[in-house]
Amino acid sequence: MTLGSKIWVNGAVVVKEEAKISATDRGFTLGDGLFETMLWTGKQIRFLDDHLARLTKSAMALGLTMPFEGEAIKAGLEALAQDAQGQTAALRLTLTRGTGPRGLAIADTTTPLLLATIAPFEAPASLATLKTVAIKRNAGAPSARYKTLSYLDNVMALQEARALGGNEAIMLGTTGFVACASSANIVIAYQGQNLTPALDDGALPGIVRGRLLAAGVVKEANVDAQMMAHCTNCALTNALMSVRSVGAIDGRILADQGDFISRLKATL
């Protein structure tokens, strides 16, 4: 079975082509939903409890109901992962508000949709080259506070970074401080401290970011352009890559940072 040919939809594993997403599902029509991207290590789902806790908390904030308990979701994800045959893979959980009448107003009767997909994944071997882009994160808004399906600004931010010759974006928040990359958080070493941009500046509350903060090896801060220009080390973090070394920030080459990356990874 090709990895990704099956998906899990509201409790059942089905062949992908048979899974029908309604054209009136609000996840499709309005980006009205959430997602989690998780690493299948070949043996287990890394940080699964953290992912489910974030999804549950975000769902409550948006008034979305989780239609399954954690154990049922875990069983579904693991059923999909069987086709990965010991290889690493990316698991994705998507929760939407389900189908509803036309318009933005949320009906009392919507039934949420929860589905899971899997795709091959290998951590990129290359260094990240960051370019600061013009598209900003909407600091304080639901689309920045939660990992929502309304992800287009990040899609276009990555496009902008690629057009500038990079492979990831530095997105500022609408506060003017650095928020995060298009699909990762940012950690810098600056004046002897490891810092990561603040949630209030539009940073996504990433799982690895949360672990590094909880371990006390990274502090939250308002990170500005000047700090990015003078930091001694820089890494990207997300659930799939764990910690990825940054090779250049807006054209400034960073020196070898093996120790910096190793120390961050060691705390996970």
Binding site for a second copy (CB under 8 A): 7, 9, 16-17, 19-33, 35, 62-63, 90, 92, 94, 101-106, 115, 117, 119, 121, 134-143, 148-156, 158-159, 162, 174, 182-183
Q: Give residue 37's Cα distance to chain centre.
A: 6
Distances (CA, A) of 25 to 22, 53, 142: 5, 24, 19
Q: Residue 4 or residue 247: which is nearer to a second copy going by CB?
A: 4
Q: How far is the CB of 79 from a second copy (least distance, A)?
A: 16
Q: How far apart are alpha carbons 13 and 153 in whole angstroms? A: 32
Q: How far is the CB of 25 from a second copy (least distance, A)?
A: 7
Q: How far is the CB of 3 from a second copy (least distance, A)?
A: 11
Q: Residue 29 or residue 56: which is nearer to a second copy going by CB?
A: 29
Q: Residue 135 or residue 261: which is nearer to a second copy going by CB?
A: 135
| Residue 201 φ then ψ, to 5° | -95, 5
Q: How far is the CB of 146 from a second copy (least distance, A)?
A: 9
Q: How far is the CB of 229 from a second copy (least distance, A)?
A: 23
Q: Residue 17 or residue 259: which is nearer to a second copy going by CB?
A: 17
Q: Residue 8 or residue 260: which is nearer to a second copy going by CB?
A: 8
Q: Residue 116 or residue 218: which is nearer to a second copy going by CB?
A: 116
* Angle formed at CA 202 by CA 257 and CA 259, multiple of 5 degrees: 10
**24 contacts 71 by C-beta, under 8 angstroms:** no
Per-residue DSSP letter, 255: P
Residues 6+ apart with CB under 8 A from 145: 58, 61, 199, 205
Q: How far is the CB of 191 from a second copy (least distance, A)?
A: 30
Residues 6+ apart with CB under 8 A from 85: none
**29 contacts 180 by C-beta, under 8 angstroms:** no
Q: How far is the CB of 31 from a second copy (least distance, A)?
A: 4
Q: Residue 151 or residue 217: which is nearer to a second copy going by CB?
A: 151
Instruction: State the DSSP string of 32-73.
Output: -EEEEEEEE-SSSBTTHHHHHHHHHHHHHHHTPPP-S-HHHH
